[in-house]
Chain A
Amino acid sequence: MGLKRALTLKAASLVVVLLFVLLLTTIIIGATGISDKILNGMVQDNLRAIRQELAREIRNPEDLERALEKIKEDLIRSYGLDKPWYVRMPDMIWRIVTLDLGNSRTVVSFSGSNKISDIILERLPNTVLLMITVLIINFALSLMIGVRVATKPGSFLDRLISMYSAVSYALPTWWLGILMILVFAFYLKIFPFGGMYSTPPPVDPLVRSLDLVWHLCLPVLTLVIATSGSWIYITRSIVITTAQEDFVSIARAKGLSERIVLWRYIIRPAAPPILTNLILSLAAYLGGAILTETIFSWPGMGLLYFEAIMSVDEALILALTYMYTLIYVIARFVLEVLYVIVDPRVRYA
């Protein structure tokens, strides 16, 4: 019961976040007239398609124009363009949620469609692939190195990690990516400059997946170097703080083996705060991923942001902002579930 309640509460608050972002973006695009622009673009796209169809049936140009005029009026009414932006806000929010935002002006999906939903959904898996790979590596590193360092605070390795985390906090992920390309792709020529597959992509599935891994190396390495420092450091700090608790001293005094003390009396109670901090660093990590995709021309949604900014495509940017919030909210929720599992206090509160 307690578990369900805790999770429902978390889910509700995350839905509020999503709604807030949707509301904020809709109000902004409404008040600045951008939503009119997007809807007008959709009306025009529709009209163009209808004109081609009608032109086959109606030969007389005047009749055609008149028929089109009427269809245009209907379209304007159906898209709500005859009403002020705040009246059609719910409609607009629904459009964003379902990614029904019409066509992109310049960006085309790999399959040739220029519908925004097609473009985004096609790129989503690529982004998720990159992010999850890095997430797993970071998590493993922070547990392995963070705990080891925490057992010997003040050691050379500990100082090195502290330094590394400080430096990585000040290190823009995207610039690190540039350095990586310069060193590993331009000078050493061991990794590709970017992209996801070689051109032309290999046909054989095994070679193809190896090619993917080869292309994945630099962006993953970049993101791991840039973000793992703080993860390791957070783990280390929390473990050190927990290690100074009285119950740890008592456990040691009882004569428990160092291994049991470490895992049961230090890491176990340290797990919830570690997770909290990881949850908090998720947003920063998401930002780093957007820029890393841009640097490595990784065909995900981050690169799409860059392309949308370059071609001044408001609808695409709107859709991407929503999608990233959605990804973030989902990732948060998954971590919250984990949190509830590791922290019994939440369950029984």
Chain B
Amino acid sequence: MSKYFIEGLSEFWASKTSKMGLAFLLIIIIISMYTLFTFPLDYGTRYWNNPKYWADNPKIAMPEWINLFVGNKFLEHNILSTSTIQKMYPSGAYYIKTYEIVYDLMADQFPTFITLKFDNVTFFSRPPTIEVLVIRPDNSTINLYKFVVEPPLSTEEPPYSRYVVEPKRIMLSGEPQLSLVLSNFLLDKYNLSIDPKDVAEIGYEKVIFGEPYENGFKPLKGKYVFTTTLYARDVRDQIGTVSIVIGGQVYGLMGTDILGRDLSQGLLFGFPVALLIGIVVSVLTTIIGATLGIVSGYVGGRVDEIIQRVCDVMNNIPQLPILIFLTFIFGGKLWIIVVILVLFGWPSLVIVVRSMVLQAKSSSFIEAAISVGASRWRIMIRHVFPQVAPYILAQMIFFTPSAILAEAALSFLGLGDPSIPTWGQILEYGFRNGAVFLGYWWWVVPPGLMIVFSAITFVFIALGFEPVINPRLRRWR
């Protein structure tokens, strides 16, 4: 074997396909390592499936780089925060502290929503009042929101902390009282009489960030200063962080889904998962299949008969229906899916390995080994296995993409492991929410590309291996 194998290996190196495959594999490994080191292992349950974590993100936003290809730029998503106190002065019974955030509107579009966020508010005596107003580029002012921090309970001791675990979020776009404020503002500033109900219809963002233009509104470009004022009774009272979320139409590298989840994170997390599924399934399948194949071929007799019959039956079962049935009954846990894929994967290997072993068995060096009194196991491991090893290795590589694809298919049917985000699951969620029919390409195209990319990596490597196994194909390459 060795001469052929070494010749084959040099052939493997020489082939462009295998080089490409190895390069792709390197990329996948690097990305997987990066993901494993930067993401927590419970990412799926802690972040991905936790809608609160994604609350500040725009829903179904396109990737940011789309702006490179369009004339009329989409507005980018922006989260602006500050913790520094701009001004502080006593006024009557109050201590007043202000926080300022400046937002520069440069795009030709309106923000899709505005959310105010307050983290870590501490106070020592009576609950403070917080007020937010915006000074627009034309120097007009709009009072956006005003609220009193929740008062202390009788069991609490000062200092009282609020909004520590979960920030206080105010979705301005859904605040009914703002419509009256904006209606009055339009009347004062532009002498425009619009009913509060109609203001809500037009959208608050258009009034806050725009000026009347023809029959609608157009964005008013320039600097918007959002001033947050804290009316405190104690000089030590303060807000930890004030943030303003300016909802964009584009977000991040890969956009977001209907829950506002950053798709780039889900896609990244899919890499180590796919690699794990592919490698674990292929290695286990190959170990079982190769062992049984060698035993079946070399030992022969009744053992061979039994193994062959079992393989015959297993090989003839249509895989996907039975996989669907089993994962449906036993539940979508990743390890269960792996076990099922292994259980129904090995028989195809046994049959081919067996026939190769039968050929090897009749060769003279095996006879020689028998004649010097080598044991059965020794012959199988030392003499037969090396004969079939290249083929087994190639099959192992070839099993990998089918495992990745099978898991993706099961996930797509809604049978995936919900605690671990995979590409198949992203696709399933997109498909079920009509992404295909509404043209949300950034939601359904990239995860599929990732599946193809990772599967094709192993196909390329396996193809590079083909001349190693089948010398007849060599002269054509």
Contact = CB atoms under 8 A, between A and B. Distances in A.
| Residue among A21, A169, A291 with max Cβ neighbours from chain B (10 Å) | A169
Nearest to B432: A310
A182 B405 contact: no
A79 interface: no
Interface string A101-145: 000000000000000000000000000000000000000000000
Nearest to A186: B439
B93 interface: no
A17 B459 CA distance: 30
Interface in A138-193: 153-154, 158, 162, 166-167, 169-172, 174-175, 178-179, 181-182, 186-187, 193
A178 B413 contact: no
Interface string B435-469: 01101010011001001100110111001000000
A240 interface: yes
A306 B413 contact: yes
Contacts of A193: 436-437
A170 B412 CA distance: 16
B319 A321 contact: no
A283 interface: yes
A329 B318 CA distance: 9
A321 B316 contact: no
A214 interface: no
Contacts of A170: 401, 405, 452, 455-456, 458-459
Interface in B28-64: none
A295 B431 CA distance: 8
Contacts of A24: 322
Interface stretch (B280-288, B324-332, B367-375, B382-390): B324-332
B3 interface: no
Contacts of B348: 280
B412 A291 contact: yes
A181 B321 contact: no
A21 B324 contact: no
Contact of B444 (A21, A28, A154, A182): A182
Contacts of A306: 413-414
A181 to B, nearest CB: 5
B317 interface: yes
B476 interface: yes
A290 interface: yes
Contact of B448 (A25, A32, A178, A325): A178
A286 B412 contact: no
A328 B322 CA distance: 12
Contacts of A295: 431, 436
Contacts of B473: 237, 240
A257 interface: no
A286 B451 CA distance: 20
B305 interface: no
Nearest to A154: B476
Nearest to A31: B329
Interface size class for chain B? 35 or more
A240 B401 CA distance: 26
Given A166-B456, A172-B405, A317-B324, A182 B317 contact: no
A20 interface: yes
B313 interface: yes
Interface on chain B toward A: helix, strand, loop, or mixed SS? helix
A249 interface: no
Contacts of B476: 153-154, 158, 240
Contacts of B321: 286-287, 290, 305, 320-321, 324-325
B325 A332 contact: no
A17 B316 contact: yes
Interface in B318-368: 318-322, 324-326, 328-329, 348
Given A21-B317, A287-B319, A305 B401 contact: no
A129 B316 CA distance: 23
A182 B444 CA distance: 10
Contacts of B458: 170
Nearest to B310: A20
Nearest to B463: A166
A16 B313 contact: yes
Contacts of B17: 166
Interface string B272-301: 000000000000000000000000000000
Contacts of B246: none
Contact of B409 (A153, A172, A181, A237): A172
B452 A286 contact: no
Contact of A310 (B318, B414, B439, B460): B414
Contact of B325 (A158, A167, A310, A317): A317
B312 interface: yes
A332 B448 contact: no
Contacts of B408: 172
B415 interface: yes
B452 A172 contact: yes
A174 B455 contact: no
Contacts of A167: 452, 456, 459
Interface of B: 17, 312-313, 316-322, 324-326, 328-329, 348, 401, 405, 408-409, 412-415, 427, 431, 436-437, 439, 441, 444-445, 448, 451-452, 455-456, 458-460, 463, 472-473, 476-477
Nearest 3 A-B pairs (CB), nearest first?
A287-B320, A170-B455, A175-B448
5 contacts: A169-B455, A291-B413, A314-B328, A324-B321, A325-B318
